[in-house]
Amino acid sequence: MNVIDKQQIIANRKFLDYLARKELSEIDVNDTLEWNDMNLRLIALKSVLPLEVLTSFERFFSMSRPEKVAYARVLKMLSTTASVTSLLPPLFCAKLQEFVQNPVTDGIEAKLIINSMRSYAPEIKDLICESMNCHNGYLPFDIRLFIQYIVKECLSINYVEPAPASPQPDTYNPAKFGRAYYFNKNGLKLRNIRQFSIDNENTVRRNVDHDDGTLDFEKCQKLFSKSQNSAKGTSNLFYGFVLTMDIAMDSI
């Protein structure tokens, strides 16, 4: 990628997120960009994309619907403030790279690789499958370049092998506790857990996984009732205790 200032990086990242979410029908009609504005941003974004990404990105706008949606999901992940390793853990890069160089789905081993990608790289797995489905079982060359570039970027990051798995008995039960998205059933880490800052620029600067603040849709939007909060230094528990005592005294 060409050398550009941080503000331009932020603008490109936000526009990439806009393109992805627009294709995924996550953009409100009132937030749609004007054609001239969109065209200028698109030109600026294309000027900094590496060739390995640009070839598939230019075809993105003419892809069939299933392939375009799968590609948009990968773009959405890449446009976030998380490290690229949250999209593809370095531990699995070699296996994916080997498959992309010879993308044959007939063999048992190839099918196992594709199925295993559900756990550690579901977005890339969907992109590979949809692309091959739309091209008669052939993985387009531009998609190969795109995935190989992601692999290269993941491997370029300083990676520390995780500690050996330490399974906790009777804790893995997806039906009861939900799916273990970041860990497998043996406790092995599959993905980096994302780190968010809450309007704290100092935290962002210290975190190597971020280059700027999080986008609005990445922040927690939970709202808590103010009417049910106790005043400072007081507790509503006491009233519950007194009420219980009054009931008990009345029954004597």
Element (H, E) at 151: helix 141-156
Q: What is the mean pLDDT of the chain?
A: 76
Q: Domain for residue 200, yes or no?
A: no
Q: What is the pLDDT of residues 86-105, one digit of tens each?
A: 888 888 888 888 888 876 65
Taking each helix axis from N to C terminus, what angle separates 65-78 and 6-23, rounded to the nearest 10 degrees? 150
Residue type, 182: Y
CA pair distance 204, 174, nearest whole angstrom: 33
Q: Domain for residue 117, yes or no?
A: yes
User: Is residue 7 classed exposed, middle or buried when 0-12, 13-18 and 19+ CB atoms within 10 A define those classes?
Assistant: exposed
Element (H, E) at 163: none
pLDDT of the residue at 106 = 61
Q: Domain for residue 150, yes or no?
A: yes
Q: Domain for residue 40, yes or no?
A: yes
What are the CA-CA distances from residue 189 to residues 77, 91, 193 (Å)?
Answer: 19, 10, 9
pLDDT for residue 148 is more than 90: yes
Tell me which of 78-87, 113-122, 138-147, 213-222 is least confident.
213-222
Residue type, 50: P
Q: Domain for residue 35, yes or no?
A: yes
For 232-247, b/e burial (b = at least 16 CB within 10 A) is eeeeeeeeeeeeeeee
Q: At 175, is the secondary structure helix, strand, or coil?
A: helix
- 192-200 own/partner pairs: CB under 8 Å, 24+ apart: 192/82, 192/83, 192/85, 192/86, 192/89, 194/80, 194/82, 194/86, 196/220
Residue type, 199: D
Count structural domains, the chain.
1
* Structural domain range at position 39: 6-158
pLDDT of the residue at 3 = 57
pLDDT for residue 242 is more than 60: no
pLDDT for residue 151 is more than 60: yes
Q: Domain for residue 202, yes or no?
A: no
pLDDT of the residue at 244 = 53
pLDDT of the residue at 41 = 93
Q: At 183, is the secondary structure helix, strand, or coil?
A: strand
Mean pLDDT of 30-41: 91
Q: Domain for residue 60, yes or no?
A: yes
Mean pLDDT of 204-225: 58
Asked whether the beta carbons of 208 and 106 are under 8 A apart, the reply is no
Residue type, 115: N
Asked whether the beta carbons of 74 and 30 are under 8 A apart, the reply is no
More confident residue, 108 or 29: 29
CA pair distance 4, 25, nearest whole angstrom: 30
**Cα first-last separation, the chain:** 81
Q: Domain for residue 12, yes or no?
A: yes
